[in-house]
Structure 1
């Protein structure tokens, strides 16, 4: 039976080559054993994979789904809830209590992103060296939960900035780590939908944040604390409990799950399938003396010179700038429409719900057709339309409430499909777990600079029109669309050029060691479109 759906050609890593112009049920074909052995598997392991039916594979991956995806989704929800709830606290009196004026609020938003951007790459390097990612991730979440709770008792603007800085420091490792874990458990054609499942949590966090804040704010005066303080305290305590739970509930690897919630054969399938579809084993490499290899610092050079990282980072930023800007400011935008603080909190929920649905639907279609670009560029086009409406009509927002509220919905529908597609596209086109870990973290690091931009584009003095905010978001969406088209063209062109020679002809030019060292620059590597 097939390792992929019947009548589809397997998208393969650096060791793979199309078997011909016609599509074949790849894993059912005799060539599959040959290709599996080229991936480094012995004949016994290759035969084992060959005999796993499609239905059995689906059951195995569904087992992983139930263990990994809900946990990542909840954690992602909490991370976005904790970084964006400052927008809810703002309209409940945060600025007045802490005597904040001018751009103080924007500075508090920006401070989060300084450590968040700087620590993503080293954090993912550390994670890739951990045999149990649950321990590393659990410590991070526990620490940022404590910081979040402390944010509820700060007495000055300086104290708020310190806690926001520490929040960014500890949250930095979660997002790239979650993407890395998805790439370790799933083959390329199964990644985007799984990422979308926990990306939906980002949209859900926006909806849940407003609903939760509206309820918590009613605690105003309890314990002589204002309502905005209770927003931070209660959500921080919830994060602490989740951090403790991560130590036991977050899956580490197929090897650790074997004999527990996976059978030994199921764990073996996941490990071998990862080698075949990704071209590298999940086990840590060791020197001849049995010690783990040190970090290869040359990876930084490889990643720094990889042009696709920068194009993907711009696509990521086409989400980050509009997303963070809107997430931090949406309650205020809705309040500008004439709604009370409570109603503005509640009315943030429908747009985010639409964003969650759009992320899932686009991911299902992208995985179904194994094609990322149309669903990324389509989402960016919706962002352009939404911000064009807001840019033109927000000056008289109280006279255009229905149209502007509709545009906010369209913006959310456009925002949330971009990141699952961007990250799936990146992770599927980097060969080897170490480069994948550093590459995805670098892309996210550069892209998240958009968070700093998003922190400053909505100036209170420009309310309610916000020309800088809406105009900048529109520009980044357009630039991201151009990068998506460029990346698609370059991948297609390189694949076409490499296909001009057969695998045997390329192997006559390069040694096995040279091809292995090239990684995703190998002429035998097929870029995923």
Structure 2
């Protein structure tokens, strides 16, 4: 009996050794040295989770807080509107829509150049500087005396906010492998939804300062929230992690080695190679690869299926709820619950998408909820005072549908871009195109059309439907290409192309597998 147990133990031990050797060989085939492959293979799942948890604690809350304050600062104009902004600045007709839309001109144009600059600086310094700058602009928005002054501050706000979101997405891609990106993005992106809730609650409280120091309540909304942004921007310089190599104070040498090898395995280059030196020439070939990539345009359409409904609703929700017959103060408070549900839906959707490593169903499911919500509002909003419960429920459904789309879209995009240069430029380019949806989103809800808002609700419905078509097209395209490339072995492809040719192809290489 004892001999049988020993024999069984020996067989199991041999099988484990063979399995490990096979795994090490597989890692070596992906570009690691044998020593690095053996080290990476020796890191247990429990240890891996512990290391990523350490990163989570340092990186994710900071990005979430920054994204929260960014969305509060760009959207609090909607709260200021119902507290007397338009009357104080003698605004009329579509002036409000123009002030909202002008933010997106520099915001859209600045995203790609900003992300290319990001690769030349420490992220903590670059992003911290951006937050500090837009906080100062937001503070001064509270003292503008004319419509022109408001437009000037909104333009500068868009200019400085342009680099943050694509920079944050790039930073997440530097720290985490593809299967762990969406949950982390959702953790800080759901703060976008919470920003709507906090914005309403803060506006409710701050507006009570009306008359303090001779300033109207809407001015204090900008001033106090701007000062908070300035403080947070200064905090970035010491609190935002740059890279594992620069994190020796809180990461052990073996943990840094694991993160760098993990990045090399999944992203293709060591992080020390990801940052362009100041003397490195601009790579026009990378920009050409980006602008000629059809998948990025489809991803941008998926992004727009969020951007148009999202910005339209964010800038108008206080007014929509006020149209139901509530006072300004009550309307500010009632914006909070739908946004809170949107935050929960973003996180739950991301957890499921990362667990199953599948983006499309959770994106299309959210877009379908948008179609349901805006169909209800399109039909019933004309008599909104008689359908308060149903229309307020539709606002909830819209928020639940809006917020899972972007984490899924961004994770899907960054996981399907090979090489750090194209990844940085590609994600910024996609977000740049997608954020063009902010311009129509700023104009679709017209004051003259309230409370029915046929242009607003109808446009949101159309973009959600277009987003579904784009997502399904992407899924089919990626699945087809993966299936076609799998018809040949890696050895066969390497016989056909040189190593240099395969590397130059990037995500067009037959060895690259698209993430679904």
Residue of structure 1 in register with 2:410 after alignment: 423
Residue of structure 1 in register with 2:359 after alignment: 372
Q: Quick check: 1:311–1:487 contact (8 Å CA) kept in 2?
A: yes
Q: CA shift at 1:41, angstroms?
A: 2.4
For 2:125 and 2:30, how far apart are their aligned partners in 1?
31
For 2:421 and 2:503, how far apart are their aligned partners in 1?
13
Q: CA shift at 1:355, angstroms?
A: 0.2
Residue of structure 2 in register with 1:359 after alignment: 346
1:200 and 2:187 matched: no
Q: Deviations over 1:250-280 (max 9, x none)?
A: 000000012x110011011000000101122
Q: Is the partner of 1:329 in helix, strand or coil?
A: helix
Counterpart of 1:284 (choices 273, 276, 283) is 273
For 2:475 and 2:268, how far apart are their aligned partners in 1?
22
For 2:299 and 2:511, how far apart are their aligned partners in 1?
22
For 1:245 and 1:198, how far apart are their aligned partners in 2?
17
Q: CA shift at 1:281, angstroms?
A: 1.9
Q: Is the partner of 1:410 in helix, strand or coil?
A: helix
1:87 and 2:78 matched: yes
Q: Is the partner of 1:252 in helix, strand or coil?
A: coil
Q: Deviations over 1:72-97 (max 9, x none)?
A: 00000000000000000000000000
For 1:71 and 1:286, how far apart are their aligned partners in 2?
22
Residue of structure 1 in register with 2:262 after alignment: 273
Q: CA shift at 1:43, angstroms?
A: 1.6
Pick the structure with greater CA Rg. 2
Residue of structure 2 in register with 1:125 after alignment: 116
For 1:95 and 1:292, how far apart are their aligned partners in 2?
49
Q: How many residues align?
A: 502
Residue of structure 1 in register with 2:231 after alignment: 241
Matches within 5 A, 1:277-356: 277-284=266-273, 293-356=280-343
Matches within 5 A, 1:17-32: 29-32=20-23
Residue of structure 2 in register with 1:18 after alignment: none
Q: Quick check: 2:179–2:357 contact (8 Å CA) kept in 1?
A: yes
For 1:353 and 1:474, how far apart are their aligned partners in 2?
22
Q: CA shift at 1:46, angstroms?
A: 1.3
Residue of structure 1 in register with 2:512 after alignment: 525
The TM-score normalised by the length of structure 2 is 0.95
Q: Quick check: 2:300–2:430 contact (8 Å CA) kept in 1?
A: yes
For 2:31 and 2:280, how far apart are their aligned partners in 1?
19
Residue of structure 2 in register with 1:264 after alignment: 253
For 1:66 and 1:149, how far apart are their aligned partners in 2?
30
Matches within 5 A, 1:35-54: 35-54=26-45
Q: Is the partner of 1:490 in helix, strand or coil?
A: helix
Q: CA shift at 1:286, angstroms?
A: 9.5
Q: Deviations over 1:225-274 (max 9, x none)?
A: 0000000000000000000000000000000012x110011011000000
Q: Is the partner of 1:528 in helix, strand or coil?
A: coil
Q: Quick check: 1:285–1:293 contact (8 Å CA) kept in 2?
A: no
For 1:382 and 1:285, how far apart are their aligned partners in 2?
39
Counterpart of 1:474 (choices 446, 461, 467) is 461
For 1:363 and 1:463, how far apart are their aligned partners in 2?
35
For 2:26 and 2:104, how far apart are their aligned partners in 1?
44
**Higher alpha-carbon deviation: 498-507 or 40-49:** 40-49
Provide closer, same or farther for how the CA distance between residues 229 and 501 of structure 1 changes in structure 2, counting only shifts above 3 A: same
Q: Is the partner of 1:68 in helix, strand or coil?
A: helix
For 1:200 and 1:102, how far apart are their aligned partners in 2?
33
Q: Deviations over 1:84-122 (max 9, x none)?
A: 000000000000000000000000001000000000000
For 2:480 and 2:22, how far apart are their aligned partners in 1?
26
Q: Quick check: 2:120–2:278 contact (8 Å CA) kept in 1?
A: no
1:155 and 2:142 matched: no
Provide closer, same or farther for how the CA distance between residues 339 and 316 of structure 1 changes in structure 2, counting only shifts above 3 A: same
Counterpart of 1:504 (choices 470, 478, 491) is 491
Q: Is the partner of 2:273 in helix, strand or coil?
A: coil
Q: CA shift at 1:291, angstroms?
A: 8.4
For 1:32 and 1:525, how far apart are their aligned partners in 2?
19
Q: Quick check: 1:87–1:329 contact (8 Å CA) kept in 2?
A: yes
1:174 and 2:189 matched: no
Q: Quick check: 1:373–1:484 contact (8 Å CA) kept in 2?
A: yes
Counterpart of 1:226 (choices 216, 229, 244) is 216
Q: Is the partner of 2:271 in helix, strand or coil?
A: coil
1:77 and 2:68 matched: yes
- Over aligned residue pairs, what C-alpha RMSD do you find? 1.6
The TM-score normalised by the length of structure 1 is 0.93
Q: Is the partner of 1:129 in helix, strand or coil?
A: coil
Q: CA shift at 1:215, angstroms?
A: 0.3
For 2:125 and 2:25, how far apart are their aligned partners in 1?
39
Q: Is the partner of 1:284 in helix, strand or coil?
A: helix
Q: Is the partner of 1:294 in helix, strand or coil?
A: coil
Where does structure 1 lack aligned partners over 5 or more consecutive residues? Answer: 1-23
**Higher alpha-carbon deviation: 215-224 or 276-285:** 276-285
Counterpart of 1:112 (choices 103, 124, 138) is 103
Normalized per residue, the structure richer in helix is: 2
